[in-house]
Amino acid sequence: PEEKFDTILANINRNVLLDYMEGLVKVVNENGLVLFSGLLAADADVITTAAAMHGLELMKKEERSGWVSLLFVKQR
């Protein structure tokens, strides 16, 4: 989309998030929030590293029964 958003929610698997990370970050406003959920806990570090490379800072991590959600804020 050509517009930008204050919040983006993505409940999808690791590979799709990695493939679309750059595009997601481009459409979120500065200081906007990005919530990734529906991820295996084992994938949290990979997603967090990729997100940081695209200017997202981890604000909160919630884990339950092997699943994780990650809340980021766009810094730049």
Query: What pTM was computed for the model?
Result: 0.93
41 versus 75: the higher-pLDDT residue is: 41
Give me the pLDDT at residue 1, please.
Answer: 67
Span 25-48, average pLDDT: 96
Closest CA to 9 of 71, 53, 55, 74: 71
How many contiguous H segments (helices) and E segments (strands) does the chain have? 2, 4
Span 53-62, average pLDDT: 97
Mean pLDDT value across the chain? 95
- Check pLDDT > 90 for residue 2: no
Say what angle helices 44-53 and 14-26 make with each other, to 10 degrees: 20
38 contacts 67 by C-beta, under 8 angstroms: yes
- Check pLDDT > 70 for residue 55: yes
Give me the pLDDT at residue 41, please.
Answer: 96
